[in-house]
Amino acid sequence: MSSVQTYGWETLAPHLGGRRLVDRAEHHQLSGKVRTHGPYKGWFFVKLWNYDEGWSHLAFDPKHTLQGQGYGTTERDSYQMLRDVLGAKGIGAARADLS
């Protein structure tokens, strides 16, 4: 892994050529994706995980405003909470069938 640690910081690096970024000990992960089609084009989704706290999902609109967050001990619970938060606002950006 090509992580570089300097001044108390560690840069997250791709894990095994994949899309998620991790620290050397694999106690923290980060990944993201952006909607490229449909009515929610430009929405950005970030998925975070750490060993101690579990999962968090964040949804940003194209202006980089945080529109929703979900969290939980499982990835599924975190993502469902995000969908529920967005749904309560009438936002369907997290739905796969809207692309």
pLDDT in tens, 75-90: 999 999 999 999 999 9
Q: Is the per-residue pLDDT at 10 higher than 90?
A: no
User: Is 71 in contact with 59 (CB distance < 8 Å)?
Assistant: no
Q: Is the per-residue pLDDT at 72 higher than 80?
A: yes
pTM of the model: 0.84
Mean pLDDT of 3-12: 68
d(CA 93, CA 85): 11
